[in-house]
Structure 1
């Protein structure tokens, strides 16, 4: 178990490891979990002794929940997250104090609870829905829940309180110097390094990868606190978020007693003398007078600036060092794309490195990580900016007419109606399923495209089910009404060949080719006549088979030899 003295981890790490993961936020934890799921060892280091105390991201979206299900941790996350019966309702309000009004519920019908969405998924079995509903869970809870699971994993050697001091990339390996909690240096050699060490990534700077972008104007004061004063907090109804026209936001973290307030402040403002309770009252008051509630405990406070950054590269020149999560991209929180993009990054690079280490990953497989994931991040960054602008727009309207938002005259009613119409027309935040589920790995060197067919339409708002090469495989339940087609996909390192042909002869030829290439392959036979009206609607019937990667992105293939990477 190692030697612990005064909280210091003084174990001796191995001299060599297949993979060194730097950073144990969501990106690092998922990367380690994916490697172990594929039977590969790794060393995981984190400069902090414990997981984050700041709430940060608070929604795990549908696609991330699908990926976590493939890693067998989705159920555990739901157990520690917000209870399944609670909705994701978002309110737009001028304030909770006297004279404040609820302007709109966003979207107008509200966002359904996971329980309600499961019923919808069962009812509409046409490929247009995800396998899993989204889940509310603070990143602070997410990390604290996943950390001990990784620490007890026999394939993961985790060191908390350890820092990366330097690294040197060679043609066949990476040499890294680590510093433990007592200040001692340790050398470790790995075949690969995954940098999951956040916005100020030491890994990224060590290999000279630049960031493009910058901070969004303005800054925010965060206050994370406990309060059971639900009658006053729910004055305008139960909520997940309330966006106030003043620019402040309150987030319900657990529907019990934990909340986070964000209040706009000038860049560089000193909040050290600000009474956090008074700041909470002002935030809840919105454009009205401060609104007092009973506060049991202030947990943490901080200031932060929204950023939009994207790394020029996702991997080093020698292709042995990779970036994931905030080390590669930094999002405005609107839309919740930051951590969710990180989950996709680490899931992807994890199985690809594992395939190479196992000997069945082709020479272009690691190159495909940047080609696939960087465009996804760029699109998500852009969309988070779109969502941010929705809020900035109505806040500017209120700033230009300071007393109008709460006024009962014609000007006030007109402004509130204008805000209500504006948010109704721009309600894609957390409902843009084209962004979350519909991304495609076009341009990847390991996915064979189909020049004979026209690529299906794509929009950020609507998910269009498609088996276009490089797209997420659509989810449907099979004829028994209980088994998802996703449940048939192989886990761990195996590729899955879904064969819709009547005689299965093509599958046999693929199996022979896979054995010859030493590629792990699982075959699933599904008769197309039974799938018509379900998967058939999402899949061009001219195709005979579908190969799904361990990342559950399919490659459609016509009759012919096995060709994967």
Structure 2
């Protein structure tokens, strides 16, 4: 994997700009499909900080498919119950998330799983390396040129790179998006700046997410959450609009002393700190020619509800199989048009949800787990049953068992899966699971896309051959 060298610019099939969770997840998905890809990152290493710490159930399912679930389960933990404090006294508990029942929505995961983002990136980077993928650090893109056959990326230092396609996964301030002239439409969700820091603190238990409401009008809250699998806490503090935030140890100690019952010296270390203003913005397009936008480069969320990183990883998961099909299986290039078609409405929907949660207008529950999102309106979705019940084409394919086969074990990998009684053996690129689908599916034959959504559903195999032929999968 990586680049093919020659006398001209080094070449690769896909250039991924940005080594955050989006870029790394896409790199993994392409690597396992045998697609030549290179991730470039302007920083000298992976970004620090806990940032997006909540992995939703749908993202955990994706990580299982990408071969990293065990690593995430080993280092993370469940979210603790919130503890409301007032004047140094515990005033009561607050559940941050509405719980789900075991097996709800056909998933083994019922709640978010906490892993600091720096560790998420480390796990994904290790998996990418294991698969033969590569990240080139210290490579800042300064210009992009496109023509009918590819993209040439120029860097502040080092040689240009030639790729058949490029993906901008370089964050909310994406230089690639700006170079393409793609605008962002959105709003400031809250004008009040927010400080976020990874700190070491004594005097607080790690059994609760500690919440300190504002002590007076115009002050601001503080929330201090123990970061699972570490000795750190993530501290989040809100300030009035116009405040100049002090991100230093002394500044953070001052905030903690003013707003909690803790003493300044109880904050023993600041390991990382940053500031932001919550905003919601959506790129006007997710594609310009041979360049795609993914993750924060395409949509910027309020952190409320833990939706941003998860939506970003799912962008990568959606785009990965399509690039793999076009580059490796002979699928028509038009298949890539469905990336924006499918992902931009999802991003718009989730942005609205994040904003509603920020304003306490929606709950963290079934919607935030992201298991119910799907692509029923997509041009890739074909539902041929006149009176379908249960799962329909376009929906996420639930987990379950058929005989001794666990469905997610059968789905795992870059192939398609055909599920149903008397399901025919279709040959290369399609795995068959023969038997009645689990109860949530209803009756019929279900063709599961490589990203775990039902692409085609019918009462018989009529039309399957034509459908699969559209994506370069021969029977």
TM-score, scaled relative to structure 2: 0.87
In structure 1, distance between residues paired with 2:148 and 2:212:
51
CA contact (8 A) 2:195 2:236 kept: yes
SS at structure 2 position matched to 1:385: helix
In structure 1, distance between residues paired with 2:347 and 2:83:
28
CA contact (8 A) 2:68 2:127 kept: no
> What's the counterpart of residue 471 of structure 1?
395
Q: Spell out, residue by residue over 1:2-24, the C-alpha distance to the aligned partner (whole angstroms, 9 max, x if none).
A: 9xxxxxxxxx9961100000000
SS at structure 2 position matched to 1:233: coil
The CA deviation at 1:302 is 2.3
SS at structure 1 position matched to 2:62: helix
Q: Spell out, residue by residue over 1:178-203, the C-alpha distance to the aligned partner (whole angstroms, 9 max, x if none).
A: 233xxx4x121111001100011122
> What's the counterpart of residue 457 of structure 2?
556
Cα–Cα, structure 1 residues 310 and 451, in superposed 2: closer, same or farther, change >3 Å?
farther
In structure 1, distance between residues paired with 2:9 and 2:131:
16
Cα–Cα, structure 1 residues 243 and 451, in superposed 2: closer, same or farther, change >3 Å?
farther
Of 199, 216, 222, the match for 2:196:
222
> What's the counterpart of residue 409 of structure 1?
none
Of 276, 281, 284, the match for 1:304:
276
The CA deviation at 1:487 is 1.0
- Say if 2:141 is the partner of 1:160: no
Of 447, 457, 462, the match for 1:547:
447
- Say if 2:277 is the partner of 1:356: no
> What's the counterpart of residue 81 of structure 2?
90
> What's the counterpart of residue 170 of structure 1?
147
CA contact (8 A) 1:88 1:111 kept: no
In structure 1, distance between residues paired with 2:168 and 2:260:
39
In structure 1, distance between residues paired with 2:94 and 2:417:
43
Of 309, 316, 321, the match for 2:291:
321
> What's the counterpart of residue 177 of structure 2?
204
Cα–Cα, structure 1 residues 138 and 241, in superposed 2: closer, same or farther, change >3 Å?
farther
- Say if 2:82 is the partner of 1:105: no
SS at structure 2 position matched to 1:189: strand
- Say if 2:455 is the partner of 1:484: no
Q: How does 1:261-276 map to 2 (within 5 A)?
A: 261-272=235-246, 275-276=251-252
Of 294, 298, 302, the match for 1:332:
302
Unaligned residue ranges in structure 2 (runs of 5+): 215-219, 471-475
Cα–Cα, structure 1 residues 540 and 146, in superposed 2: closer, same or farther, change >3 Å?
closer
Cα–Cα, structure 1 residues 283 and 372, in superposed 2: closer, same or farther, change >3 Å?
farther
TM-score, scaled relative to structure 1: 0.74
The CA deviation at 1:128 is 2.6
The CA deviation at 1:434 is 6.7
Of 255, 266, 271, the match for 1:279:
255
SS at structure 1 position matched to 2:275: strand
> What's the counterpart of residue 461 of structure 1?
none
> What's the counterpart of residue 122 of structure 2?
144
In structure 2, distance between residues paired with 1:496 and 1:41:
24
The CA deviation at 1:78 is 1.9
> What's the counterpart of residue 449 of structure 1?
383
In structure 2, distance between residues paired with 1:17 and 1:166:
17
- Say if 2:164 is the partner of 1:191: yes
In structure 1, distance between residues paired with 2:320 and 2:378:
17
In structure 1, distance between residues paired with 2:128 and 2:94:
40
Cα–Cα, structure 1 residues 262 and 57, in superposed 2: closer, same or farther, change >3 Å?
same
SS at structure 2 position matched to 1:175: strand
SS at structure 1 position matched to 2:401: coil
SS at structure 2 position matched to 1:226: strand
Cα–Cα, structure 1 residues 243 and 65, in superposed 2: closer, same or farther, change >3 Å?
farther
> What's the counterpart of residue 420 of structure 1?
none
- Say if 2:258 is the partner of 1:249: no
SS at structure 2 position matched to 1:128: helix
> What's the counterpart of residue 499 of structure 1?
420
SS at structure 1 position matched to 2:208: coil
SS at structure 2 position matched to 1:445: coil
- Say if 2:25 is the partner of 1:30: yes
In structure 2, distance between residues paired with 1:321 and 1:539:
36
Cα–Cα, structure 1 residues 477 and 293, in superposed 2: closer, same or farther, change >3 Å?
farther
Larger Rg: 1
CA contact (8 A) 1:367 1:445 kept: no
Q: Spell out, residue by residue over 1:58-98, the C-alpha distance to the aligned partner (whole angstroms, 9 max, x if none).
A: 1111100100100101111222323xxxx423325243x43
> What's the counterpart of residue 382 of structure 1?
352
Between the two proteins, the alignment pairs up a number of residues equal to 452
The CA deviation at 1:433 is 4.1
SS at structure 2 position matched to 1:364: helix
The CA deviation at 1:366 is 0.7
Q: How does 1:109-128 map to 2 (within 5 A)?
A: 121=102, 124=103, 128=105
Unaligned residue ranges in structure 1 (runs of 5+): 3-11, 394-425, 457-465
RMSD: 2.7
Higher strand share: 2
Of 47, 51, 74, the match for 1:52:
47
